[in-house]
Amino acid sequence: MSGRDDELRDSSASRISSVPVVIHTFVDSPCSITSAPQSIFWDEFLHVRERLISRFNSTRGLSGNIEQVAHECVDLFMQFLFPNTPIAHEPTLRAGILLLGDELPDCPSTESPNPETLTLMALLRRFTLITALCAHIISVVPENLFRNPKSLSDIFFEASKSMLRTYEAYDLEHPDSTSLTIRMWHSSYAQNTTGKVGASWHYHTEACCLAQRMRLFDEASVARPSQIESQLLRINFWHLYLAEKTQIAFKSRPPIIDERICDVTLLENGDEVVSFLDPSRQVGQGGLESRIFVGFHLRRRISAAAASLINDIASRTRYVETNSPSTIRSDRNNEEIDFMIERYLKFTALANEVPPWVRRPDGEGNPEVEDSVRAYQTTCFWAQRSNIMTIFHCMRLLILQACIDHGLLMIVGLSESPLSWASRKLEIIRDFLDDLQGTPFVCIAAQGETAVCGSHFSSSPLWLTYSGWIQKPVRDWRFPVSWLKVLKIGAILRRLALEDQSESHTNSPCGFYILELQAVLAKTCASTIRGNVGVPRSYSSTTCSMAEALVNIKMSCDPGSAN
């Protein structure tokens, strides 16, 4: 080994071994850091940045430099994902892109007397934030929206993770809004790229724990000298709160942020008068941002109302099982049932609160918006609409299933007959598919794993329903209309999946799930129809032909899934 190699190895080892010591110094005395620790952090930033740019430039098939790609990621985020996750300040994101350019920034001071001047820690956080966003966006959007190699998401994620690791101890002791946003985007990357639920859950849980420790559930705790920071803390908390409520409804893991643990007094909108959108861009005309936040908070209320009702249904069953019948007052029992019925009706009424610009994105003619901007905003509202309605119908199914499991079907106005709740499931699925009709497929695909899983979950009861749950009640064919509904749903699915004939859409995860659902649905219908005497043979032959065609389409998308 040459002397130069030895020198580089010793320098690298010295830098790496020094970082933990410096981190603890940073934590213990964040406002008085000597020049030596500052140089170590700066050297680490330069090292991570240089490695990121080197790996980026060595990637084949690029259609722009790293700054152009980063701006493209911000553009995609603001149009397709910001409507559902408005957790970032666009000018801050675009300012962070400057840290990726050819011109090396000057080493900032650890203390800044000027509020507009970046400190060293602010610079590190801004670099970590923009690289986390790029990793998140590239991992989530379909190929027809992002023409560069998908492998870039790994490169940006490694840079973001390495930079966060450098100042992580300080970040845990002195968190800010970026501490939450970065971890949420890391969580999304892990879910969309690797499918590793454990890693994704870990990043998300870290963000929840930080929000809990910062007491962001308390209105008094979000006050900061910077109005932008206060508003970012507020909206990041509400996004975490929404995610927690969704997890409660799905029963996927215990909550960290919950009213039973903390008294949530945070307001939806505070006194901060700041815009998250870049004022230099024309796309924010007509109050786009305020309209986006209306839809965002509606989605939060939908998840919260459903999670609370599902939890109370389970709690009532536990109460009945752990107490003797003699100790349970019948009048109190009736009052509890009536109260849950009232809450269910309030939940369903939330669908009426969908604002007109979200209910009909194409038909909303805002006179304050120029024609050149209207198409952009329409896409934003389609993305938000697909997300809101997917969540709403998912929650309807979850509430119905909770009532079935706990024998409380009177809450949703049904009898104990399996046919009644089977028909209701079919109605919910039909409503879900009706809402998806007309939605630009790219607006669903751009939501990533969350939207795919939501659509998949909303449709999956069809598999179970016709595989066993309601075959018996319908098996004597007293209600052929139910099966005609299934065939109609299959046709809707086919139109939706093949709406865009481009190869990139057909091979997208959303398209694959819908085609897979079609195939299973048609095969199940055909096999069930064959077993019913008196069913017209044309129904059977039609569904068998549909099943065969759909399986062929599905196999062309994924040859390994023939079974």
Each residue's pLDDT tens digit, 337-361: 999 999 999 999 999 999 999 999 9
Q: What are the residue ranges of helices labelled H in 151-287?
A: 152-173, 177-189, 197-213, 227-250
- Copy the structure tokens of residue 99: 């840290």
Judge whether residue 544 has pLDDT over 80: no
Mean pLDDT of 162-183: 96
Cα(441)–Cα(313) distance, rounded to whole angstroms?
36
Q: Please list the alpha-helical segments (H only) found in 350-417.
A: 356-359, 371-405
Q: Whole-angstrom Cα distance, residue 555 to residue 212?
A: 47
- The pLDDT, as a whole number, for residue 324 is 65
As a whole number, mean pLDDT of residues 37-56 equals 91
**What is the band of 126 on the pLDDT scale with cuts at 50, 70, 90?**
very high
Q: Is a pLDDT exceeding 50 seen at residue 405?
A: yes
**Higher-pLDDT residue of 105, 116:** 105
Mean pLDDT value across residues 148-153: 94
Q: With bands split at pLDDT 50, 70 and 90, how would you rate the model's confidence at 470? A: very low
pLDDT band for 460, please (50, 70, 90 cuts).
very low
Mean pLDDT lowest for which of 44-48, 232-236, 260-264?
Answer: 260-264
Proportion of the chain in helix, strand, coil states, percent, rounded to 5: 75, 0, 25
Tell me the pLDDT band of 107, cut-offs 50, 70 and 90. Answer: confident
489 has a pLDDT exceeding 70: no
Highest mean pLDDT among 357-366, 489-498, 504-513: 357-366
Among 168-177, 289-298, 499-508, name the one with the lowest average pLDDT. Answer: 499-508
**Angstrom distance (rounded) from CA 257 to CA 145:** 35
Q: What is the mean pLDDT of residues 323-340?
A: 74
pLDDT mean over 37-62: 91
Taking residues 264-287, report their average pLDDT: 90
pLDDT of residue 370: 84
pLDDT tier for residue 449 given thresholds of 50, 70 and 90: low
Higher pLDDT, 9 or 105: 105
Residue 97 confidence (pLDDT) = 97
The confidence score (pLDDT) of residue 191 equals 87
At residue 318, the pLDDT reads 80
76-90, 196-210, 449-463: which is most confident:
76-90
Taking the C-alpha atoms of residue 80 and residue 76, their distance in angstroms, rounded to an integer, is 6
Instruction: Quote the pLDDT of residue 325.
Output: 66
Q: Give the other-Cβ count within 10 Å of 8's Cβ.
A: 11
| Overall pTM > 0.85 | no
Q: C-alpha angle with apex 289: 283 to 292, nearest 5 degrees?
A: 115
Q: How far is CA 91 from CA 53, 104, 175, 290, 383, in A?
A: 22, 20, 21, 17, 22
Confidence of residue 528 (pLDDT cuts 50, 70, 90): very low
**Mean pLDDT of all residues in 16-38:** 45
Task: Check residue 227 and report its DSSP letter.
Answer: H
More reliable by pLDDT, 326 or 388: 388
Percent of the chain with pLDDT over 90: 48
Highest average pLDDT, of 77-86, 117-126, 444-453, comes from 77-86
Instruction: State the pLDDT at residue 433.
Output: 76
Instruction: Return the higher-pLDDT residue of 439 and 57.
Output: 57
Q: Average pLDDT of 181-197?
A: 90
CA distance 169 to 23: 6
